[in-house]
Structure 1
Amino acid sequence: MTDTAYLKDLGKKLQKFQPWKQTAFATAMAQRSLSNFGLFSQVTGFGDLSELKHCLNMLWDHIAGQQSAKNFERLLERLEEQTPDIDDFDMYGVYPALDAIVSLTTAVHCAMQPSADEALSNGELSLSTIGKFLGQTEASELKGTELSQYIDQHPLTLQHLDFIDEVCTLLSKAKPNADMKKKLRELALNDGLSELGISMEE
């Protein structure tokens, strides 16, 4: 998996961020994973993507100073209702869909009580989602160091590391306003493509 030194360095960056920037980082990771849930929902009929979009809208407004987090407990309840049980689905897609819910839940927790550790966990989760996906779909015959090297050098991993770095660079100079929200959200949306290269649009 991705070099622990990278994650350690990312953790140090997040520790230096203001609380709202930590929440913004966590939300950007959650936004990028949205299509993983969306495609799963389209295929299985499970869940309501609009509920996830509503939570993201509330988070983005909060980050821009336009929404209080005092009622975010309700968002957690709504996300719990959208959480798939992996035992109910005989398909790999349930795992990245579940990761998307976990990522969004973590972002809501971060909004309620900002934490560099929570923000970092969303960065780690997004990379883990890629690693598990590649191990399942492209490199099932590889193990140990060979598998780790394959994942670390894969374009999906490298593109996502670039995304994480872009988010950190943007946030390092940002102020909590509507302009920042628009720029970061567009970066995270990535034209609808998730970190796995999944899009809901055919």
Structure 2
Amino acid sequence: MRNPIHKRLEKFESWQNITFMAALCERMYPNFHLFCQVTKQAENAKIYHNILNLVWEYLTVKGANINFENQLEKLEAVIPDLNDYDFFGVVPAADACEGLAELLHAIIAGDTLEQAIKISRLSFQTVVSVLETQSDREFSEQQLKECEETEAELDVQWAIYRALNECEERDVELILSLKNELRGEGISNIGIEIER
């Protein structure tokens, strides 16, 4: 399904795209957190969270010196293998890790547009895969457009985009308020809720 937001992201500066990606990863984090709880790998959820915290630090602390190659290695060590688990929760958990990996690649390579679009698609796709798994069928594009869940996902992406689009230059206050709002809600793109 085409998302008109992708065209708009082209006009963003790299800090805006990185913030957009970090916000989407923040929303996917509860999916990984729950998976780690269920599989008794709480340490892995902490690793994900610490890496995401470093991304927010990179966005808000001038001159923050972070080795993101090193962080990517740590993340790759905790990405669940879909073949090792026989329950659906591994899918949104792996998607959350893939999103964060894309975000780290974007920071390392300095190429943020392509990755921002990828993470936007990935977050949307997670919602679709939950819907299709629950209904045990595939949805047409038209059916997806009419789904409450996909509509909610697009609404959140647009809300994040609009907040960032209003900034002329990097606004640390706005970045922190976005982070705090998403953390405060603690609800993922597929409705998983965690206590922080």
2-structure distance, mates of 1:153, 1:104: 29
Match of 2:53 among 42, 48, 57: 57
Which residue identity is paired with 2:22?
A: T
Q: TM-score scaled to structure 2, two decimals?
A: 0.90
Structure 2: give runs of 5+ residues left out of the alignment. none
| Root mean square deviation, CA, Å | 1.9
- The one-character-per-residue Cα deviations of 1:58-89 (angstroms, maximum 9, x if unpaired) are 11111124454651101101101111111111
Q: Which residue of 1 aligns with 2:12?
A: 17
* Residues 21 and 103 in structure 2, CA contact (< 8 A), matched pair in contact too: yes
Aligned partner of 2:113 among 104, 113, 116: 116
Moved more, 123-132 or 69-78: 69-78
Q: What is the deviation of 1:189?
A: 2.8
**2:185 aligned with 1:164:** no
Instruction: State TM-score, norm by structure 1.
Output: 0.88
The partner residue of 1:26 within 21, 24, 27 is 21
Comparing 177-186 with 77-86, which one deviates more in the overlay? 177-186
2:131 equivalent in structure 1: 134
Q: 1:187, CA displacement in angstroms?
A: 3.7
Residues in 2 aligned to 1:97 and 1:67: alpha-carbon distance in whole angstroms: 32
Q: Is the 8 A contact 1:32 1:188 kept in 2?
A: yes
Q: Aligned residue for 2:183?
A: 189
The more displaced of 159-168 and 62-71 is: 62-71
Residue 49 to residue 144, structure 1, CA distance change in 2 (3 Å) = closer
- Residue 194 (structure 2) aligned to one of 182, 193, 200: 200
Q: In structure 1, what residue type is equivalent to 2:183?
A: L
Change (3 A) 1:14 1:60: same
Moved more, 60-69 or 180-189: 60-69
Task: State how far apart, in whole Å, the 1-side matches of 2:10 and 2:115 are.
Answer: 11
CA deviation vs aligned residue, 1:31-64 (integer Å, no higher than 9, x gap): 1000000111101113521111111111111112
Structure 1: state its 5+ residue gaps.
none
Deviations 1:137-182 (A, max 9, x none): 1x21x3453xx43333222211111111111111112343431222
Work out the number of aligned pairs and report it: 193
The answer to whether residue 31 in structure 2 is matched with residue 40 in structure 1 is: no
Pair 1:76-2:69 in alignment: no
Gap change, CA 1:92 and 1:17, over 3 Å in 2: same
- The amino acid of 1:184's aligned partner reads L
Counterpart CA distance in 2 for 1:18 and 1:65 is: 17
| 2:60–2:176 contact (8 Å) kept in structure 1 | no
**Alignment partner of 1:125 out of 108, 122, 126:** 122
- CA distance in structure 1 between the partners assigned to 2:26 and 2:145 by the alignment: 22
Out of 145, 162, 184, which is 1:152 matched to? Answer: 145
